[in-house]
Amino acid sequence: MTAPVVISARELGVRYKRRGGIFRPTRYHQAFQDVSFDLHEGETLALVGRNGAGKSSLLKVLAGILRPDQGTLVNHGVSVSLLTLQAGFDGELPGTDNAVLSAMLLGYTRKQARASLERVADFSELGEFMHEPVKTYSAGMRARLGFAVAMFLSPGVLLIDEALSVGDRHFRRKAELEMTRKIHSRQTVVLVSHSEEQVKKLADRVIDLDRKGGSYVV
């Protein structure tokens, strides 16, 4: 592949403290180790592995949320964001406030967040409910608002954890379509999924974290 490399991972490893304290020896759980890869611009990379293989942890490392315990991660100048639904929602506040706040937490400036408000309201199909406190929403409506906000996130590299199941059937289809489109556009994506079919349909490359060093499967 000739596209420029945007993120390089070298022998990354993350471990979690399992138990321990002042009086007990600390024990660790190694989530993954020796994972090395180059992420190229525009590609879709899928991470697979059983539960606890460290897929989500690797995403967090890529997002800059977690610092790896071993190895290095080099970002060649791109913005990286984890796709998060309902980040920082506050039930007492109306949908509009939550949408702005959530967008700002995801990295937008306030101006960008305000500007996207109309599109968020449109996409989430909430109508007048946008001005009602989120605590009065049904779970589906909440999810719709969250998804609509996240939808406008277009960082250099988008990280997606698991398939999204959002709202009622109609909206779920719309969300899936939008998601597929987003993954499929020129967007660089790192995807965690359990659905083999989804991976096959969307990914250029697959990294299997169950194998030693996360070997490639194409």
Partner 1 sequence: MAPRQIQPPEPLPAQDDRLAPQDAFQWARDAMTARQWDAAARRWATLRAVYPNHAPVWIQAAVAYKQLGRHDDAAALLDEARRRFPSHAGGWVQGANVALARGDHGEAARLLAEARCRFPDDPPVWLRSAGLALADGDPDAALVFNRHVREAFPDDPGGLAQYAELAMEAGDWEEALTRWARVRERFPNLPAGYRRAADAEERLGRPREARRLRLAEEHGTDWLAELDAAAPPPVAPPRRRDGRNFIDLVLTKARLNLKSEANRNHLRYLWWVLDPLLYMAVFYVVFGLLLHRGGEGFVAYLLTGLVPFQWFAKTIQHASNTIVEGRGLMNQVRISPLFFPLVAVAQNAGKQTLVFLMLAVFLVVYGLPPTPHWLALAPVVALQLAFMVVVGCALAMLIPFVRDLLNLVPTGLQFLLFCSGVFYTLDTIPERWRDLFLANPMANLLHQYRRILLDHQWPDWSQLGWLALGCALGLVAVLLAYRRLEGVFPRVVIE
- Output DSSP code: residue 10: E
Residue 63 beta carbon to partner 1: minimum distance, rounded to whole angstroms: 6
| DSSP 8-state class, residue 94 | B
Nearest approach, Cβ of residue 111 and partner 1 (Å)? 9
The greatest distance separating any two alpha carbons of the chain, rounded to the nearest whole angstrom, comes to 57
Checking 120-129 for CB contacts under 8 A at 24+ apart, the result is 120/145, 120/148, 120/149, 120/151, 120/152, 121/95, 121/96, 121/148, 123/148, 123/151, 123/178, 124/95, 124/148, 125/171, 126/95, 129/95
Q: Which stretch binds partner 1 (CB under 8 A): 45-53, 95-103, 137-145, 209-217?
A: 95-103
User: Does 35 contact partner 1 by CB under 8 A?
Assistant: no
Minimum distance of partner 1 from residue 84's CB (angstroms)? 4
- Closest CB 32 distance from partner 1, rounded Å: 14
Q: Report the nearest approach of partner 1 to the CB of residue 190 (Å).
A: 15
Contact flags string 52-91 toward partner 1, x per CB under 8 A: --------x--xxxxx---------xxxxxx-x--xx-x-
101 binds partner 1 (CB under 8 A): yes
**Angle at 91 (CA atoms; ends 90, 93), nearest 5 degrees:** 75
Question: Rounded to whole angstroms, how far apart are CA atoms 165 and 190?
Answer: 18
According to CB under 8 A, which one of 5, 74, 177, 217 is a site residue for partner 1? Answer: 177
Give the three-class secondary structure for 12.
strand
Give the nearer residue to partner 1 in terms of CB position, either 154 or 212: 154
Cβ distance to partner 1 smaller for residue 33 or 84: 84
Phi, psi dihedrals of residue 148, rounded to the nearest 5°: -60, -40
Within 117-136, the residues that bind partner 1 by CB under 8 A are 119, 133
For residue 23, give the 3-state DSSP assignment: coil
Query: What is 121-175 written as a DSSP string?
Result: HHHHT-GGGGGSBGGGS-HHHHHHHHHHHHHT---SEEEEES----SSHHHHHHH
Residues 178-197 that bind partner 1 (CB under 8 A): 180-181, 184-185
Q: Residue from 4, 5, 11, 16 that binds partner 1 (CB under 8 A)? A: 16
Binding positions for partner 1, rule: CB under 8 A: 16-17, 42, 60, 63-67, 77-82, 84, 87-88, 90, 92-93, 97, 100-101, 104-110, 112, 115-116, 119, 133, 152-156, 177, 180-181, 184-185, 201-202, 204
